[in-house]
Amino acid sequence: RTVYVNGDYLPENEAKVSIFDRAFLMGDGVYEVTSVLGGKLIDFDGHLKRLDRSLNELDMQKPEAFDDLLAIHRELVRINDVTDGMVYLQVTRGAPDDRDFVFPDPETTKPTLVLFTQSKPGLAQSPVADKGIRVISIEDLRWHRRDIKTTQLLYPSMGKMMAKKAGCDDAWMVEDGAVTEGTSNNAYIVKGNKIITRALSNDILHGITRAAVLRFAREAQMEVEERNFTIEEAQGADEAFITSASTFVMPVVEIDGVTLGDGTPGARARRLREIYLEESL
Ligand code: PDD
């Protein structure tokens, strides 16, 4: 596989990043995951805009190649012959000479830019989507700027492990009694014709897939209500689902051991997945 590091396209085993890199030492990096379907990048502009916002919020300088990011994405997809899969992009505050809590001087320490691809043949035909996923709930112990897509993913990773240990697929995080989001996705419930999902704030990531799916839902005459919901309300809902660049729209069929409806993916989740994939291809 060929990867991109600071201006160079290299075989992955020749790519190097300093041990003093701020993302390695301090989680001082931001990232984006853009999915690829049929060789095409999905929602690239949205991901680029959010990257720009993440960089601004953290006072991190843009990598020199910022304006070439679309071309770099396309080049990697081409070189690695990715039909279905994703492009991972990470920008870090760079590698100063020493470990220091103070941000390095941006004049001397330039950001690190890394991109790589992951092929996932048949991504859109995921058999998991036909069955739906099962989630558990866990307390949301992350920091309070979840709107910034940082590489500080230890807690979400632990949440995923807690779910696996419970024989489930993912965890929904709960704060002050309300669901924030999944470990790496936005969370939704459906009641009648109404799609309910938490409103945007610093408490959740502003999903690019979320924006598209809510637009499609409205176009398909579904109602959209952006508000908090509890696990109890979710357990009593008609349907539930998650969205992310890597799962698109994924039905949820069980929450903390309680089966939703008849335990199969709901009609609206299935319809929204269909629309999302149609519109993306
Ligand atoms: N995760 N919420 C969280 C906490 C996320 O990590 C993600 C994405 C989302 C959905 O955002 P989007 O629709 O823009 O992908 C919501 C990516 C896919 C990841 O970490 O792999």
Q: Which residue of 205, 216, 248 sits with most ligand 1 atoms within 8 Å of its CB, as the best mutation to test the pocket?
A: 205
Given the residues 49, 110, 149, 160, the one annotated as active site: 149
Quote the CA–CA distance of 20 and 97 in Å, as a whole number: 7
Assess whether the C-beta atom of 205 lies below 6 angstroms from ligand 1. Answer: yes
CATH T-level fold of 127-280: D-amino Acid Aminotransferase; Chain A, domain 2 (3.20.10)
pLDDT, one tens digit per residue, over 252-280 is: 999 999 999 999 999 999 999 999 999 98
At residue 72 the predicted structure's pLDDT band, cuts being 50, 70 and 90, is: very high
pLDDT digit string (tens) for 93-141?
999 999 999 999 999 999 999 999 999 999 999 899 999 999 999 999 9
107 C-alpha to ligand 1 centroid (Å): 32
Could you confirm whether 149 is annotated as catalytic?
A: yes
ipTM entry: 0.99
Encode burial over 152-165: b for 16+ CB neighbours within 10 A, e otherwise.
bbebbeebbeebee
Tell me the pLDDT tens digit for each residue of 137-159: 999 999 999 999 999 999 999 99
Domains 2-123 and 127-280 share a fold: no
**Cα diameter, the chain:** 60
Q: What number does the ligand 1 atom closest to the CA of 32 have?
A: 17
Mean pLDDT, the chain, rounded, equals 97
pLDDT score at 280: 87
Q: How much distance in Å is there from the Cα of 199 to the middle of ligand 1?
A: 16
Taking the C-alpha atoms of residue 188 and residue 209, their distance in angstroms, rounded to an integer, is 12
Closest-lying ligand 1 atom to the alpha carbon of residue 31: 20
Where along the chain do its domains lie?
A: 2-123, 127-280
- We find that the CATH architecture of domain 2-123 is 2-Layer Sandwich (3.30)
% of the chain surpassing 90 pLDDT: 98
Task: Assign 192 to helix, strand or coil.
Answer: coil
Q: Indicate if ligand 1 lies below 6 Å from the C-beta of 186.
A: yes
